[in-house]
Structure 1
């Protein structure tokens, strides 16, 4: 039910913005549009030998004399008198002499002189018209491909032209029709021999459907007459293995039409011109993936069943005996990262509003406000770049709580530590050996004392299990002491908002480094 509700929300904009969506879909590149980039129209140096070609061959000198016109058979061979069959189909005409010379040498006639020339490969001129970029009369060879001639004319017009209906006319009648999709998919292109004054006509584009999402081929697909079912589109779009559903937007009976179906039902679905299909990976699957970091050995990534709880997975994790701090286990979670980012963004927005809308009672105060606004703007830009860790705290005293795991969770099992880190607004950030007799003042003195920016009333203790405490009388091995900077301003609301941001950064990312220098 929840997923269906999300789908309705996703489709609602299309009900009020259909003309814009339809226009956007029409700008999608047609399937095969990348064919015409000038590569096929490059000079072919006489073209290639094809079955049916006639070749003039003269051999003289030595013990061999031949003066004959040879025809390339259906298998691409010619029969050379006194020599035998030779495969020539596919050879460029300018390479034919070298190939014959090698054949003669292998047959013991290396001293023979050779003359070879195509009889049917004289230049031809072909008219190209219809929906192409530059209609006109273009020269080429009889063995040039339809792609080469179309490329000479600038390719098919992507808005109006058909990639599936290209007609070759000769003497007023159509002798062949080309579909370029098999070439794009499998490299198949029918052979054709052009004649002088032939005409290539690119017909109007047929019904077209836009495809995007979880597919290998995202494009505007043209449908042939009689082939407007989803079955034909599946063969063209090639959905990814992850695709499970399709969302279809279109027009039916003059009104916007939307539907959401399992992928298996697309094959029997009739499609219409202008339809927009989005293939979606909306199948939750039966497993999720979780990772492990810290004092562990062996596997660090686990596929587990959806709905598995932490206690189940811990049975499969090999920790380092005597080194792993089991009581400090915590989780880094993607969804929590997003929540923390949103909370930080909201706080930054309020901070900017406070800084930019603060009133002043004198010109001197106006200058102060302007300077503070500039400082806060820089602070906000730096704070936006902070990446929260998304920590889920599990520790409750000496016990670790249990919870249902989510896909992408990172289970962190810290190593036991004998040191205390001192960071933030101190003279020299330090890592010091923990001593049960030391208190906060001892650790601060070991870091050179507070610096001029320190706020001595805002010191946080960050535990190995990801929790944050303001109880500086209880400092344990592995803790991090973080001294926050003092916020100085006549605008008390700005002081409050900046302090909130600093606290959020400290809790979500474990640092305020790079931010405090902008506050003074």
Structure 2
């Protein structure tokens, strides 16, 4: 039974690996030129026309002309007819050839002449296709059909084995011509290889290949001739976009994994190896940054400015709501500041966890209390980790505010004027109250029903409209917010200190109070 279970588990693992490989293969870029073989060339033999090199049997009688011969269409697409001269026949469909020649003879004064014409090369020829194709075999085509028709009938190039750049046409064991599909894909250039009965078309093995992805016009796997896989050649084929600035190269060198990250201009001088993967990336510092405006504004809320611009450079472009915008309380929300605030909170939480987990106990009863406290601290830490700081940059009343250099993603906040003061946190009835110059902190707290049972009267924050924060005292202006923090209760003084610090950091960075559900 165990053997059967092991066998079943092994089969499941192998099946998962196979699915993973298949999924990766489906996502990988296809060979350059793979879209050629979709069946569109396989029907090219229909409606074949006369081409240079074709043989034409022509018999004429009556009207002063007697001809019975086989003519070869010259490089200019003409046949030389005795007594008449050169007649152009290239490009004329086989079933329209007699009608066309009769018209041309009538125009030259031989309207009574009877005509019989038969293109000898109109009959199909059999050609063998082998090598790196999907369906090797023997296929019938017209002699004038392009080699692409043969390849399409054979299912196209096998993407795992076949070469798109080395295809040989053999006749009686001798090489007739070579075909490279890349010039056709890029510019429509296709050599005029004429097929004959018994020819063999051989698709050689795939050459060194390099994959290009990312910021390129042609995302594909590119094949190169031996010793010609260079960065410059890859860039010419892949066509990097204008935004591409760097490349990430991954491959193998001397049997070991190899990777590097370089500016785009250095790729041209690199020699690439079979199996290399080059990702083109847009990592260059741009000339513009995006700025957002929030608050009492109208019109566009996001717009680009030049890198290095200062606050004064954009203030004139911000359309504020007249009479409603509080320009004196303007502040900035910045991503880099928010990241530092997030890190500071994380550091405080780490210290808090260490304190809770390493606290010693002098009795069994105290040990149980410590364990319960540690559990509640863990819940508090989990909640605090989800806090997302706003990254407020406070601007004072000085004249140097306009010199502040803006960063990409900055949000300029212009608060709306307000006549109320919001009181929240550990008060009996959190609410907004009409601002009065005569009121102080105690007046507003009393207006909110007084301090709650869990209020920490020594930790009351005044959040000003411009993002500044004062503690326990200070002038309260219209639009400010009063936050009463909860009191931390624990036998561990260090835990009290650490939790209080986190509460303060969260309140300052988010403008909200993080509750303490574990306090009784």
Q: Match for residue 490 of structure 1? A: 491
Q: Quick check: 1:243–1:263 contact (8 Å CA) kept in 2?
A: yes
Quote the offset at 1:477 in angstroms: 0.7
Taking structure 1 as the reference length, the TM-score comes to: 0.64
What is the alpha-carbon distance in structure 2 between the residues aligned to residue 178 and residue 518 of structure 1?
A: 78
Cα shift readout 1:57-110 (whole Å, capped 9, x = no counterpart): xxxxxxxxxxxxxxxx997968589999xxxxxxxxxxxxxxxxxxxxxxxxxx
Quote the offset at 1:414 in angstroms: 1.1
Q: Quick check: 1:52–1:74 contact (8 Å CA) kept in 2?
A: no
Query: Taking structure 1 as reference, are residues 139 and 511 closer, same or farther at Cα in structure 2, changes over 3 Å only?
Result: farther
- Paired residues for 1:52-201 under 5 Å: 79=95, 146=151, 149=154, 156-157=159-160, 164-165=165-166
Quote the offset at 1:328 in angstroms: 0.8
Structure 1's unaligned 5+ residue stretches are 1-25, 55-72, 85-118
- Paired residues for 1:362-373 under 5 Å: 362-373=363-374
Q: Match for residue 109 of structure 1? A: none
Q: Quick check: 1:156–1:202 contact (8 Å CA) kept in 2?
A: no
What is the alpha-carbon distance in structure 1 between the residues aligned to residue 364 and residue 183 of structure 2?
A: 75
Quote the offset at 1:338 in angstroms: 1.9
Cα shift readout 1:411-469 (whole Å, capped 9, x = no counterpart): 11111111111222334432222122333344334444444443232221111111111
What is the alpha-carbon distance in structure 1 between the residues aligned to residue 365 and residue 168 of structure 2?
A: 81
Are residues 1:359 and 2:360 paired?
yes
What is the alpha-carbon distance in structure 2 between the residues aligned to residue 516 and residue 396 of structure 1?
A: 36
> What is the total number of aligned residue pairs between the two structures?
429
Quote the offset at 1:348 in angstroms: 2.4
Q: Match for residue 203 of structure 1? A: 205
What is the alpha-carbon distance in structure 1 between the residues aligned to residue 314 and residue 372 of structure 2?
A: 54
Query: Taking structure 1 as reference, are residues 336 and 199 closer, same or farther at Cα in structure 2, changes over 3 Å only?
Result: same
Query: Taking structure 1 as reference, are residues 303 and 156 closer, same or farther at Cα in structure 2, changes over 3 Å only?
Result: closer
Q: Match for residue 379 of structure 2? A: 378
What is the alpha-carbon distance in structure 2 between the residues aligned to residue 476 and residue 282 of structure 1?
A: 45
Q: Match for residue 517 of structure 1? A: 517
Q: Match for residue 431 of structure 2? A: 430
Cα shift readout 1:225-244 (whole Å, capped 9, x = no counterpart): 46433332123433232223
**Mean CA deviation greater in 308-317 or 444-453:** 444-453
Quote the offset at 1:331 in angstroms: 0.9
Q: Match for residue 65 of structure 1? A: none
Q: Quick check: 1:28–1:220 contact (8 Å CA) kept in 2?
A: no
Q: CA RMSD in A?
A: 5.0
- Paired residues for 1:233-244 under 5 Å: 233-244=234-245
Query: Taking structure 1 as reference, are residues 141 and 399 closer, same or farther at Cα in structure 2, changes over 3 Å only?
Result: same
**Mean CA deviation greater in 218-227 or 480-489:** 218-227
What is the alpha-carbon distance in structure 2 between the residues aligned to residue 181 and residue 519 of structure 1?
A: 74
Q: Match for residue 29 of structure 2? A: 31
What is the alpha-carbon distance in structure 2 between the residues aligned to residue 353 and residue 318 of structure 1?
A: 50
**Mean CA deviation greater in 265-274 or 371-380:** 265-274
Provide the secondary structure at the position in 1 that maps to 2:403.
coil
Are residues 1:231 and 2:232 paired?
yes
Query: Taking structure 1 as reference, are residues 388 and 150 closer, same or farther at Cα in structure 2, changes over 3 Å only?
Result: farther
Provide the secondary structure at the position in 2 that maps to 1:319.
coil
Q: Match for residue 92 of structure 1? A: none
Q: Match for residue 79 of structure 2? A: none
Q: Match for residue 462 of structure 1? A: 463
What is the alpha-carbon distance in structure 2 between the residues aligned to residue 353 and residue 275 of structure 1?
A: 47
Provide the secondary structure at the position in 2 that maps to 1:307.
coil
Q: Quick check: 2:29–2:221 contact (8 Å CA) kept in 1?
A: yes
Q: Match for residue 294 of structure 1? A: 295
- Paired residues for 1:392-471 under 5 Å: 392-396=393-397, 400=401, 402-471=403-472
What is the alpha-carbon distance in structure 1 between the residues aligned to residue 364 and residue 90 of structure 2?
A: 95
Query: Taking structure 1 as reference, are residues 136 and 424 closer, same or farther at Cα in structure 2, changes over 3 Å only?
Result: same
What is the alpha-carbon distance in structure 2 between the residues aligned to residue 194 and residue 512 of structure 1?
A: 87
What is the alpha-carbon distance in structure 1 between the residues aligned to residue 430 and residue 99 of structure 2?
A: 89
Q: Match for residue 305 of structure 1? A: 306
Query: Taking structure 1 as reference, are residues 209 and 420 closer, same or farther at Cα in structure 2, changes over 3 Å only?
Result: same
What is the alpha-carbon distance in structure 2 between the residues aligned to residue 183 and residue 426 of structure 1?
A: 79
Query: Taking structure 1 as reference, are residues 136 and 309 closer, same or farther at Cα in structure 2, changes over 3 Å only?
Result: closer
Cα shift readout 1:129-173 (whole Å, capped 9, x = no counterpart): 66x9xx88789997987468558x9x533xx76565567889877
Cα shift readout 1:1-47 (whole Å, capped 9, x = no counterpart): xxxxxxxxxxxxxxxxxxxxxxxxx999753169999x969xx9xx7
Query: Taking structure 1 as reference, are residues 226 and 360 closer, same or farther at Cα in structure 2, changes over 3 Å only?
Result: same
Quote the offset at 1:484 in angstroms: 1.8
Q: Match for residue 94 of structure 1? A: none
Q: Match for residue 351 of structure 2? A: 350
Structure index of larger Rg: 2
What is the alpha-carbon distance in structure 1 between the residues aligned to residue 123 and residue 428 of structure 2?
A: 89
Taking structure 2 as the reference length, the TM-score comes to: 0.64
Structure 2's unaligned 5+ residue stretches are 1-23, 50-88, 101-121, 142-147
Q: Match for residue 318 of structure 2? A: 317
Provide the secondary structure at the position in 2 that maps to 1:297.
coil
What is the alpha-carbon distance in structure 2 between the residues aligned to residue 168 and residue 82 of structure 1?
A: 33
Quote the offset at 1:508 in angstroms: 1.3
What is the alpha-carbon distance in structure 2 between the residues aligned to residue 120 and residue 222 of structure 1?
A: 36
Query: Taking structure 1 as reference, are residues 346 and 241 closer, same or farther at Cα in structure 2, changes over 3 Å only?
Result: farther
